[in-house]
Amino acid sequence: MSLKKDDAIFETLCFVIALISAVDLYWLGKNREAILEMEENPLGRLLISMDKGDISLFMATKFLGTMLAVYILFKLKRFNFKYTMPITFVIAIAQVFLLIYLLKSP
């Protein structure tokens, strides 16, 4: 594969990761009243509890986590780490599964 094609694929995968994360945050905000009962992630439940039932800390942590992940992916790409593309692909696929899960949620 050409370098430019690799770059385009990598950037598209990073965009997919960020876009689905944004959809997840939107969904979280829209369902803020019921999220404590619906949230299945123990860390998410802990963050909500730490913020006395408010989801702001949880949302900020999710946002920062996504930004950190994308930043690390770009750094790995810059340093020509040979597993950057497979790692990016796996994260993007995980995000697609998250999107499917969100779309199937009540």
Write out pLDDT tens, residues 34-74. Answer: 888 888 899 999 999 999 999 999 999 999 999 999 999 99
Can you give the pLDDT at residue 95? 98
H-assigned helices in the chain: 3-30, 35-38, 42-50, 56-78, 84-104
pLDDT band at 21 (very low <50, low <70, confident <90, very high): very high
Which contacts qualify for 77-85: CB closer than 8 Å, 24 or more apart? 77/10, 84/10, 85/6, 85/9, 85/10
Can you give the pLDDT at residue 93? 98
Q: Are 48 and 35 in contact (CB under 8 A)?
A: yes
Can you give the pLDDT at residue 70? 98
